[in-house]
Structure 1
Amino acid sequence: MSLLELTPSGLFCRQADIFIDPWKPVDKAVITHAHADHSRWGMKHYLAHQMSEEVMRLRLGEDIALETLRYNQAIVINGVKLSLHPAGHIPGSSMVRLEYKGKVTVVSGDYKTEDDGLCDPFEPVKCHEFVSECTFGLPIYKWEPQEKIFDAMNTWWKLNASNGMNSVVFGYSLGKAQRILNNLDFSIGEVFVHGAIWNTNQALLKNGLQIPDVPKVPAEIPKSRFKGALIIAAPSAMGTPWMKRFSPYRTAICSGWMNVRGARRRRAADAGFVLSDHADWDGLISAIKASEAEKVYLTHGNTAVFGKYLEEVEKIHAVELQTLFEGENSDLGDS
């Protein structure tokens, strides 16, 4: 790569002396978004989008040295022009644009091309080199419009409520939970959230994100209060004693992995909704083509298959990079 090199600590821009989403402690880290596999503890100085600030302080410590930028706000570091651009993945998620001596490299972090109505929508950035995720880089992954997914979710909740069942929906605490919250039909019943999600919501509300401010599940509450309710829970709560208070209940998982036959059954959930904060096959291709990049570097996901497609069909030079990014974890760990 002309501006970046892969080191044991992560992607490094030597000219600017900065790392992007490093996985080991470094002096200067540019963070694409606040998920745990991209935003790690131990950096001396962080740079991220302003919508990531409160969540990063919640997760990494209030006293971290953190500088924030707006989208499209450019700074120059030792001759390298750096700016952040909407990735559409979760609130605050950014693609990092680096320009030096007329050459432009863009690091995507994680992204999705569908406008979810929650975060700033994805904006393609033209470049010479594009570092792209490909978590769902197989042609079997093609998402339906989110309106259809949430219509099905609200119908499922309403049916459960009419049958005397509470509804528990599992989704990542950052990004997925807020997206679900923004699309629920509150006329059906009350909505509660897991404590980890409530803490994340408060951080995002403090940063100015527009989401319903619903209560967290209280430690002491009559079971009758949950009658017909929907509870958004972190995946880490699956199968724990915490769930007993909602009985009788039905469970659902929200993940792109629900697109694979048997994934819901393996997790012992009653329902699965194919909802991902990553680009699907078509989204990946459209984003890469819109970048007009001459060379694409692929990280975390189906890099071999997707790279072969880019080379043979789209005639775009593709290179696999071995990184420690996880994308949307198939084991539904809560990042």
Structure 2
Amino acid sequence: MGDMVVVRKEGLYCVPGDFYIDPWRPVERAVITHAHGDHARHGSAHYLTAAPGVGVLRTRLSEDASIEGIAYGEKIRHKDVTLSLHPAGHVLGSSQVRMECGGEVWVASGDYKVEADKTCAPFEPVCCHTFITESTFGLPIYRWEPEQDIFDDINRWWRKNADEGRCSVIFAYAFGKAQRILSGLDPATGPIVCHGAVEPLNRAYRAAGVALPPTSMVTDVEKAALRRALVIAPPSAAGSPWMKRFGDCSDAFASGWMLLRGARRRRSVDRGFVLSDHADWPGLMTAIRATEAERVIVTHGSIPVMVRWLCQQGLSAAGFETEYGDEDEAVTAAPLAGEAADA
């Protein structure tokens, strides 16, 4: 048998199963690892995803989209392939796609992180012969601090601003990052306000059983109370008329790219919080080792660096060119690989 998964103009194609994984063009049958816009696109006839992510995917696509959800670990047969989905730890409903055919096992990871958080099922290593991995932060400089340290830093910043009578605004991607930040906030500090792009995703998370603190739309909060509020908004809201209602506010951006010195400067924000829903370099290496795969295929991110490193470790490694991007990190300008971290 040849390669189980190949790249076609529509996306990653499972040959013996006759389906696509996160296709970037409309297809008959799409298996979706998660509902970020670069992995879940409109127009396919039928979508399969993990059951916890159905609500979010429907919010992102449309109410009449043909979406089927299956439980994590549940096996289904499609053509010559036994298919199952396993937690990726990226965002609510994110999954890795396990494909087995003729005794050969491939796993396509989608996007993932190995640090557990309260908003989604934790990453589950899946043993396989070939592992398709992302490499968004596939450089040794990327090493994350523990999540709780970042939450403590955000809460201290918020309390300081509230005590000074200044509204705090965090720009973060509406799906995944916003809800993860919410899960770590101390609501005793003040009201929590969410942009209209964030609040529908909050409802989808709550409907899936994820505990989030109470949130409000800005129109539901008195102007005086906004001086103690923390606001979560998508990056597109920066500089918009919507922001004027918060007056002299302190702003921040939450992203893994904030580790780089130039990223915060390009964003022109007061603070940068290094919080990513992708694995850092140690996390990528940990995940790859845990699969026990002899062959690794690297996608979107630092493909040449990771391929070279994995080959030096004795693995068979190569890259797939895909159309996946950094929508979930929402960066306007790609950082330079040589930029050093802030002290």
* Pairwise same-fold verdict (TM > 0.5): yes
Q: Which residue of 2 aligns with 1:210?
A: 211
Give the aligned residue type for 2:304.
Answer: A
Q: How does 1:52-131 map to 2 (within 5 A)?
A: 52-131=53-132
Which residue pairs with 2:30 in the alignment?
Answer: 29
Q: Judge conservation of contact 2:235–2:330 (CA < 8 Å) in 1.
A: no
Distance in 1 of aligned mates of 2:222 and 2:283: 45
Q: Which residues of structure 1 form unaligned runs of 5+?
A: none
Equivalence for 2:311: 311
The answer to whether the aligner puts 1:5 opposite 2:6 as a matched pair is yes
Q: Does the C-alpha gap of structure 1 residues 196 and 9 become closer, same or farther in structure 2, counting only changes over 3 Å?
A: same
Alpha-carbon separation, structure 2, partners of 1:31 and 1:143: 27
Deviation at 1:57, TM superposition (A): 1.4
Indicate how the Cα distance of structure 1 residues 332 and 85 shifts in structure 2: closer, same or farther if over 3 A, else same.
farther
Q: 2:285 and 2:263 mapped to 1: Cα distance?
A: 25
Question: 2:177 — aligned with what?
Answer: 176
Match of 1:50 in 2: 51
Gaps of 5+ in 2: 335-343
1:224 aligns with 2:224: yes
**Which structure 2 residues correspond to residues 206-285 of structure 1 after superposition, within 5 A?**
206-218=207-219, 222-285=222-285
Decide whether aligned partners of structure 1 residues 228 and 329 sit closer, same or farther in structure 2, where only a CA change above 3 A counts: closer
| 8 Å contact kept, 1:139–1:281 | yes
Deviations 1:20-63 (A, max 9, x none): 00000000000000000000000000000112111211121100
What residue in structure 1 maps to residue 144 of structure 2? 143
Count of paired positions: 331
* 1:15 and 2:23 matched: no
- Contact 1:201 1:213 (8 Å CA) reproduced: no
Whole-Å Cα distance in 2 between the matches of residues 238 and 20 of structure 1? Answer: 33
Identity percentage of aligned residues? 50
Q: Which moved more, 1:11-20 or 1:103-112?
A: 11-20
Q: 1:194-214 CA distances to partner (integer Å, 9 max, x unpaired)?
A: 111001111222233322241
- Verify the 8 A CA contact 1:51 1:204 in the aligned structure 2: no
Give the 3-state SS of the residue equivalent to 2:198 in structure 1.
helix
Deviations 1:237-287 (A, max 9, x none): 011111010112000000000000121111110000000000000000010
Measure how far apart 1:329 and its partner are. Answer: 4.1
Alignment check: 8 A CA contact 2:118 2:210 kept: no
Asked if the contact 2:187–2:213 (Cα under 8 Å) also holds between the matched residues in 1, the reply is no
* 1:53/1:207 contact within 8 Å kept: no
Aligned to 1:40: 41
Deviation per CA, 1:168-192, whole angstroms, max 9, x where unpaired? Answer: 0011111100000010011111111
Amino acid at match of 1:257: W
